[in-house]
Amino acid sequence: MSAPARSDLAAAPADPVGPPPPGRPARRRRLRPGALPVAVIVILLVLPSLIVVPMSVSPGEILRFPPDGFSLDWYRTLFTEPQWTSAMLNSLQVALATTVLAVLIGAPAGLALGIREWRGRGLLLGLVLTPVVAPPVVVAIGMYTTYAQVELIGRWGLIAAHTVLAVPFVVVTVMSAARQIDPTWLDAARSLGASPLRVALTVLVPLAGKGIASGALFAFITSWDEVVVSLYLTDPGFKTLPVQMWNQLRERVDPTVAAVASVMLLITTSAMVAALVIGWRRDGAARENG
């Protein structure tokens, strides 16, 4: 159910900085007629995410909009109540472990898929994608019944399951990045006497670094927001944040869940904005120098 962007689909290299798009007339200042539908789509995309922020500061015990006042009590609950703090720590733990495992397992496969062409890579890619497209309920009951047989429930069960769900993102993003590596560089490095490990660490990893980093981020988010499979594999003594939110919503629909969502939104938004600003600065600098 949690399904972060398959960003990689957009990662096909392109060069739109080159010639302008087709049929574009001289730059016009007035609003284009297409602006309205786009504005509506933007509202559709962001409204449900933004509305949780005012909902999180409502002092009442019921999740509502508009808020009936202003209070940060729910944030206090979030950062002091053990059930919330432990859920956050558990989620962090599972998501970090998932990220590391998914990168360790997925990056080599992504490099193999991206650098050279070989028979069967289409088939392998198809298999890799199945955890993402398989209906979550089917995956959940299957994992649940098999993992329970070997008591792979709770922390390690969640890490195992999330790794499976997250690894496709790593494979695909690393593959996209690796497609831009020229295999002759590797051969050159090898022929100059570099050991395979050295080639991997000094040539491959830096070149595919961006792909690995974005794959890792998607792995993290996949784990962090996963609900359906987690509900089955969670150990009552080891709950992740989405499971705790699910329980809270079933026990009492109070603004704590909106506070969780707002904190998440704040963190991710500021990280994205920071990334943008850094990117702009670097681009600007490059342009000035170049």
Partner 1 sequence: MAGVLTTLDPTVPGAAVRRPGHRRGLGGALPAVPLLVVLGLLFVVPVAVVVGRSFTYPDGATLANYRTALTDPVARQFAWNTVRTALVVSVASCLLGYTYAYAMYRAGRTVRVLLLFCALLPFWTSLLVRSYAWTVLLRDRGVLNELLLQLGVIDAPLPLLRTSLAVTLGMTQILLPFVILPVYAAMTRFPPDLALAARSLGASRRRVFWEVFLPATMPGLVAGAVLAFILAVGYYITPVLLGGPGDQPIAVLIENAVQQRGDWGTAGALSTLVVVLVLALLALGWRFLAKGLLGARR
Partner 2 sequence: MRMRTALVTGIALVTVGGLVGCSGGGDGAGARSLVLVDGGGAYHDAMQQGIIDPFLAGTDIEVTTEAGTDNARLRTMVDANRVVWDVYNGDNTWGTSADADYLEPLDYSVIPQDEILEGYSSEYRVANSIYSIQLAWNTDSVQGTPTGWADFFDLAKYPGKRAVMDYSAGGIFEIALLADGVAPADLYPLDLDRAIAKLDTIKDQLVFWTSGAESEDLVGTGEVAMVMTYNARAYDVAQVLHMPVAYTFNGQILAASYLSVPKGSKHVDEAMEYIAYAVSKEHNGAPSTYSPLAPSNKLATPDATMAEQLPTSHLDETYAEFDDEWIAANAAELEQVYQQWRAS
Q: Which of residues 129-158 bind partner 1 (CB under 8 A)?
A: 129-139, 141-143, 145-147
Nearest residue to 170 via CA among 117, 229, 99, 271: 99
List the interface residues with partner 1, window 34-73 (CB under 8 A): 34, 37-38, 41-42, 44-49, 51-52, 55, 63-66
Q: Which of 196, 209, 252, 284 binds partner 1 (CB under 8 A)?
A: 209
Does position 290 interact with partner 1 (CB under 8 A)? The reply is no
Q: Closest CB to partner 2 among 147 and 220?
A: 147
Q: Decide if 228 contacts 137 (C-beta within 8 A).
A: yes
How many Å apart are CA 269 and CA 288, to the nearest integer?
28
The site map against partner 2 for 87-106 (x = CB under 8 A) is --------------x--xx-
Query: Given the complex with partner 2, which of 23 and 108 has the nearer CB atom?
Result: 108
Q: Token pair for residue 281?
A: 């600065």
Residue 285 near partner 1 by CB under 8 A: no
Asked if residue 116 lies in contact with residue 180, where contact means CB atoms within 8 angstroms, the answer is no
Judged by CB under 8 A, does residue 67 bind partner 2? no
Q: Which of 200, 213, 228, 265 binds partner 2 (CB under 8 A)?
A: 200
- Considering only the C-alpha atoms of the chain, give the largest distance between any 2 of them, rounded to a whole number of Å: 71
* # chain residues binding partner 1, by CB under 8 A: 128
- Does position 17 interact with partner 1 (CB under 8 A)? The reply is yes
Contacts 24+ apart (CB under 8 A), 150-156: 153/233, 153/234, 153/235, 154/233, 154/234, 154/235, 154/237, 154/238, 155/90, 155/93, 155/94, 155/235, 155/238
Give residue for tokens 């600003």.
Answer: 277
Q: Tell the smallest beta-carbon distance from residue 28 to partner 1 (Å).
A: 11
- For the segment 80-119, give every residue that binds partner 1 (CB under 8 A): 104-106, 108-109, 111-113, 115-119
Q: Are 94 and 155 in contact (CB under 8 A)?
A: yes
* 80 class by beta-carbon count within 10 Å (0-12 exposed, 13-18 middle, 19+ buried): exposed
Instruction: Report the interface residues with partner 2, using CB under 8 A.
Output: 61-64, 101, 104-105, 108, 112, 144-145, 148-152, 156-157, 159-160, 163, 186, 190, 195-197, 199-200, 234-237, 247, 249-253
